[in-house]
Structure 1
């Protein structure tokens, strides 16, 4: 991984990767997509929404393959970046501090860490060294709207 000079390079890296930031996913209930507290931004849990819809629902290891779930986790991460950008701008990001991933898991599915690698890899691809983070990957029975994956992020900002 390369180290960007600043979080502002994230925009160029996204373009290089052929990615554009989506619109911020509107909240499904009484919360906001992201909040700033001091020099940190905390995102709400981001679902793998594309154009306002979940492209796939179900449990990983049953209706959703692990490979499809990795792609969903990557979309969650992209949605989290959109929430951060809308609040403070990606140029202010100095570190992705913590990623928490939730995987709606079929009984016996234990590949949650590999699924959440989809999000972790995106942060590394976009931010280089400052995208390396602490992480939790948790298997859960259900997620909102039947989503297979949900990701939340804590980012440090300047």
Structure 2
């Protein structure tokens, strides 16, 4: 099944790609690779939550952050589609880089970024969707977002 058909089957509509907030582009092609800029979990132009990920009052839970990583990956796919025309051109998800704004005691970054990785497997299938990955804890992300995700995709 094609990636575009799979998105429809999953009920996922890719959002419009917002204008960059700085001196960069949302995605660019180099050779047979698409590199996306880091994408936040925007929904209709708004962040659904802000703050650090961890356990405790005032912190974003790991489960919530996993859902935000999925949203960030959806936004990254929208950026990739904006330069490719169709995600059916993707032949391999090469790498996912995920950043988690983490409370100093939080060590569950890989579980959070699974939200992005699992989405890519659902959309592209096990073979094309399997990828290398980094899941990094950071002190703060732009706009106080709890997560940020970037992709490297190969295409034909």
Q: What does residue 137 of structure 1 align with?
A: 135
One of 61, 67, 70 as aligned partner of 1:65: 61
Aligned residues: 151
Q: Deviation of residue 26 (structure 1)?
A: 2.3
Contact 1:25 1:79 in 2 (8 A): no
One of 77, 81, 87 as aligned partner of 2:83: 87
Gaps of 5+ in 2: none
Q: What does residue 154 of structure 1 align with?
A: 152
TM normalised by structure 1 equals: 0.93
1:83-120 deviations in Å (ceiling 9; x for gaps): 01111121211000000000000011000000000000
Q: What does residue 4 of structure 2 align with?
A: 11
User: Which consecutive segments of 4 or more residues in structure 1 shift more than 3 A?
Assistant: none
> Bigger CA drift: 93-102 or 15-24?
15-24
TM normalised by structure 2 equals: 0.94
Contact 1:101 1:150 in 2 (8 A): yes
Give the root-mean-square deviation of aligned CA atoms: 0.8
